[in-house]
Amino acid sequence: MTSRVVQYRRFGGPEVLEVTEREDPEPGEGQVRLRVRAAAVNPLDWKLRSGAMARGDAPAEPKVPGFDVAGVVDAVGDGVVDLAVGDEVVGKATGGAYGETALAAAKALTRKPAEVSWEVAASVPTGATTAARALALLGLGEGDHTGTTLVVDGASGGVGVYAVQFAVARGVTVIGTASETHQDDVRALGATPVVYGEGVADRIREVAPQGVDRAFDTSGKGALRDLVALTGSPDKAVTIADYAGAQELGVTFTSGGDADTERAVLADALARVADGRLRTPAVVTYPLDQAGKAQDDNQYGRVSGKLVLLP
């Protein structure tokens, strides 16, 4: 059988994305094939498509973008014992998620709660797992961290919303930076909102006269030096969006984690979403043939919320 997929044969802008038909891939050892119900758009997708993270003008073979996926298992490879055809799952795809079918390692998937819609489920993996990993690197993993003050730069974004909520649930006092239009959103998550941009360090000091213990940069908008100054040491800050700044300042840059840990974090996050204990960003959906527009909107912040493709 064949199915539609989005791919690119050369690096460049969103115009290099094309929708084409391909033979449905067969799952290999430890893999399953999914009938995709929703696939999230993340910054890494368009960074890879642009060629900014590669050499040359084109990938060695056509590439399908996307990692975060929600769908139904419709074929199972050898060695898979905990998933079966018909199971509804969420997680990370192998070899691209922007299509009507996708492959995924069984260990990279967890079951989708019935109470969580397909589009919301697909919006969770990268945001929740990245937030949990960064907090662990900052010494704010599971447990009681009452008395600690954390700054989340970009608190209303796709990772920030989870970082704020995870930290608040652990007793952390959170200060969240966001645009003026998202101050109420940050407050609703349980953080003290501060407008980002020039002078942000002074505004943070005003609301945290006791000082700041840790900082998490999710936005990469140039605040890393201020965050280091606020915490007093580069080892008290983590970034997921400013690699150059991290190298210059000696801050930890994190971009990936252990599959087993991420699956456990994702399963817990989805359970919390299902029973209302965890808020997710608003979801904006696009049809598969508008993948280029979705990536462009994500890159330039034209649309507020989490962007998701529906095949």
What are the pLDDT digits (tens) for 96-140?
A: 999 999 999 999 999 999 999 999 999 999 999 999 999 999 999
Q: Are residues 164 and 211 in the same domain?
A: yes
Residue found by looking up tokens 């795809």 in the block: 93
Decide which of 237, 253, 269 is a domain's last residue.
Answer: 253
Q: What is the mean pLDDT of residues 135-146?
A: 98
Asked whether residue 247 is domain-assigned, the answer is yes
CATH number at residue 140: 3.40.50.720
Provide the pLDDT for residue 55. Answer: 87
How far apart CA 95 and CA 67 sit, in angstroms, is 8
End-to-end Cα spacing for the chain: 16
Provide the pLDDT for residue 191. Answer: 98
CA-only gyration radius of the chain, Å:
20
pLDDT surpassing 90 at residue 82:
yes
How far apart CA 55 and CA 233 sit, in angstroms, is 34
Q: Are residues 67 and 56 in the same domain?
A: yes
Q: Are residues 87 and 22 in the same domain?
A: yes
Provide the pLDDT for residue 257. Answer: 87
Q: What's this model's pTM, rounded to 2 decimal places?
A: 0.95
Asked whether residue 156 is domain-assigned, the answer is yes
pLDDT 10s digits, 51-62: 988 989 999 999
Q: Are residues 114 and 166 in the same domain?
A: no
Asked whether residue 173 is domain-assigned, the answer is yes
Q: Taking the CB of residue 99, how many other CB atoms lie within 10 A of it?
A: 31
Q: Which of 99, 120, 121 is nearest to 109 (CA)?
A: 121
Q: What's the token pair of residue 38?
A: 């929703």
Residue found by looking up tokens 């598969």 in the block: 288
Q: Are residues 241 and 284 in the same domain?
A: no
CA 116 to chain centroid: 17
Which residues, in sequence order, are CB contacts of 28 under 8 Å at separation 6+? 77, 78, 103
Q: What's the token pair of residue 25?
A: 């891939």
> 289: burial class by Cβ within 10 Å (0-12, 13-18, 19+)?
middle
Instruction: Specify the amino acid at residue 184.
Output: D
Provide the pLDDT for residue 53. Answer: 87
> 212: burial class by Cβ within 10 Å (0-12, 13-18, 19+)?
buried
Range of the domain at 151: 127-253
Asked whether residue 142 is domain-assigned, the answer is yes
Percent of the chain with pLDDT over 70: 100
Q: Are residues 54 and 67 in the same domain?
A: yes
Q: Are 175 and 230 in contact (CB under 8 A)?
A: no
Decide which of 253, 272, 291 is a domain's last residue.
Answer: 253
Q: Are residues 34 and 137 in the same domain?
A: no
Provide the pLDDT for residue 256. Answer: 86
pLDDT 10s digits, 149-180: 999 999 999 999 999 999 999 999 999 999 99
Give me the DSSP letters along 277-293: SS----EEEEEGGGHHH
pLDDT 10s digits, 218-246: 999 899 999 999 999 999 999 999 999 99
What mean pLDDT, rounded, does the chain reach? 97
Total structural domains in the chain?
2
